[in-house]
Structure 1
């Protein structure tokens, strides 16, 4: 049996290292360490941009170390100025606490919290809320000169446009977090994105000045798409969230299916736990048969299953096969039909309109209810042109109604106009 790779070897193979402190390799080689990464609860959900640091904690645990996930219930009330051009809008305490709890639940899908070496969730409100201003200034602020803080990129980039004292103090609060975890939990490593290097090294400086002790930092690269655009935005430009209520499992799955061939090999390394051999084989598929999108399918199924569930991934695959691969709607599961209600126009069938046939389900009415046809006359012309299918069967001009024996499970009719326009009718 081959030896398990070291944390740094694994992260390096997956191209997940931007930089790290000089002594980190020796510290990791000496035995298990505890390390942490912080997550800002300024929204009620994490998004795909948070997946790299999350996977960093996953790899840490898989290589024998102990991960800590810090939810910034206190620092989230201020907001990190790193990578921002303007001040954040401050949120209320109740909102921040609710967001922190939601993020705790999302992180629990990735990390094993059981056993003495299990991952641990911490919230910095537990210690920062108890810290008085005077104690903070005496015990933390005295270790940092203003010149030191002004030299950090997160501050330098905001000087011309202005930065409030609130955000200016953020690196000191994050440094205090590192010191607190170092003292109480033996944490000696902090992870973060490449824009966090200044905050991480400030924490190392505080640990050194406040009593010594070895500590290290590691940052991940900024992830961009092959075309240079920012990773993590949907086709509509919005964030892709890990919360199913904000980004449905189907849309989440489609985000990954849409990965460019130039990006998918990197994303398999970043966002999955596939082995080296599995990823190498998928890389080969990208080169030999890109039209099959085998790598994208594997990526989408794996990440959707981890974030939502294996069942959610299965349903997303089923819906995707129907809408884009002409799968037979007769085989749709009840769960897929429920998911379709949220993804395509949906309407409940009502009592037949005046002039409708007395028996059967009126197709003209279905088309107008869904907005596929603007009027009954337009619906009639669509049928005459052969442009409408119901439950996978093309209709003719004579097919003004369909019988209830044609309903899919759950009493649905899937209506398609052309190749890509769909609607779903539920018949009570």
Structure 2
């Protein structure tokens, strides 16, 4: 299977600038330089960026040269969003964010050449920009871009409106200086990408190529990698490897095949075999487990992936020894919790916090070995619960039966 065929099979080619046959010829031809860019809006990339990083690695593995741009200039303005203007961040924050992202890119795409568009924008004057770039792009052309049309209804600033000129010229600069002939990005960047292709043709009489990848969404239609509006960061100090594993292992059955294609480097044959096993025995969740392990392994290494599996299995069995409180809380996210203020008899704790409807029922649960604390079965109805029982001094985990968990917060 050629690179182009593999990308098509994985569903990774959405929009193409020009003819698809020309794109195929370039992708499957001699080595070339390509670029992908991101603005430094945080000091870490998140799981939503991971499909683009995977794409960069796929092209790199095929022998092409990745140039990954961190937008120190464009990040000071902000790409137009569909609803409202992005918050402007300080130059100090931008520089700090670039440092964090650079380290991640070096680790995840080792062959990548890293560039910052602030290096070629910082000395360019406003007049030079209007004269050398602005004259090639008409107002009608800019207004016809989908993201601009949508924002005109609610209002868009001149800074945001001009963003496509900046990103478009980035492609021109990299075409000239780094011999980048292709840009790859998510489908929400289509307008900016085609502006770059058009500028290369008009300013340099050059031929450039570009394609976009579909935006990856979860079962609720939200961007992949977001959880209740909070990103799952690729920096493990911000989001633990287990948290990413847990997110992926809960992937929707109807989407997991697409995720395996997009986010793993397994072959077509391997993915089809895993999915066949999933269809034969859905309760095993082998596809989700494979997805989660492969992604964590790629992001953080095999040891972290194996550890995430261990944590998941221990939590499933109700075993908490050796697990961190953070991993436990992630694994038990969404279970009822209550504030534990003072020592009380176990019976009272059960009744006061909804684990039993009455003291009589609480005693029956205890007598029948249906209550465990921190993974240990308790059958003594006189037992008193104290704060020194808390794991890491922070939580006490109660379980009623096999699946009903409650967390006492100290």
| TM-score class, shorter | 0.7 to 0.9
Cα pair 2:260 2:291 within 8 Å, conserved: yes
Structure-to-structure mapping, 1:189-200, within 5 angstroms: 189-200=182-193
The match for 2:249 among 257, 274, 299 is 257
In structure 2, distance between residues paired with 1:304 and 1:214:
38
Counterpart of 1:359? none
The match for 2:194 among 193, 201, 204 is 201
Counterpart of 2:141? 148
Q: CA deviation digits over 1:360-412, x for unaligned, max 9?
A: xx9799x79xx9969xxx9998566314314543211356279xxxx999999
How far the C-alpha of 1:176 sits from its partner, in A, is 1.1
1:139 to 1:274, Cα distance in 2 relative to 1, 3 A: same
- Classify the secondary structure of the residue corresponding to 2:290: helix
Which runs of 5 or more residues in structure 2 are unaligned?
none
Counterpart of 1:86? 84
1:380 to 1:96, Cα distance in 2 relative to 1, 3 A: farther
Cα pair 1:6 1:63 within 8 Å, conserved: no
Instruction: Give yes or no for the alignment of 1:394 onto 2:377.
Output: yes
How far the C-alpha of 1:226 sits from its partner, in A, is 4.8
The match for 2:226 among 220, 233, 237 is 233
Counterpart of 1:39? 38
In structure 2, distance between residues paired with 1:382 and 1:138:
79
Structure-to-structure mapping, 1:19-418, within 5 angstroms: 19-21=15-17, 22=19, 23-81=22-80, 83-112=81-110, 118-226=111-219, 228-234=221-227, 236-323=228-315, 325-326=316-317, 328-329=319-320, 332=321, 334=322, 336-337=323-324, 339-340=326-327, 343=330, 382=362, 385-386=365-366, 387-390=370-373, 392-398=375-381, 400=383, 415-418=397-400
How far the C-alpha of 1:229 sits from its partner, in A, is 4.5
Moved more, 281-290 or 310-319: 310-319
1:291 to 1:214, Cα distance in 2 relative to 1, 3 A: same
How far the C-alpha of 1:230 sits from its partner, in A, is 4.0
Query: Could you say what the CA RMSD is over the residues aligned between the two structures, in angstroms?
Result: 3.5
In structure 2, distance between residues paired with 1:15 and 1:57:
15
1:62 to 1:390, Cα distance in 2 relative to 1, 3 A: same
How far the C-alpha of 1:286 sits from its partner, in A, is 2.0
How far the C-alpha of 1:95 sits from its partner, in A, is 0.8
Counterpart of 1:115? none
With the length of structure 1 as denominator, give the TM-score of the two structures.
Answer: 0.81
Which runs of 5 or more residues in structure 1 are unaligned?
113-117, 357-361
Q: CA deviation digits over 1:161-202, x for unaligned, max 9?
A: 221110111010001111111111110000011121211111
Matched length: 395
1:213 to 1:372, Cα distance in 2 relative to 1, 3 A: farther
- Classify the secondary structure of the residue corresponding to 1:20: coil
1:399 to 1:314, Cα distance in 2 relative to 1, 3 A: farther
1:228 to 1:415, Cα distance in 2 relative to 1, 3 A: closer
Q: CA deviation digits over 1:82-132, x for unaligned, max 9?
A: x522111111111111112212222233212xxxxx321111111112222
How far the C-alpha of 1:317 sits from its partner, in A, is 2.0
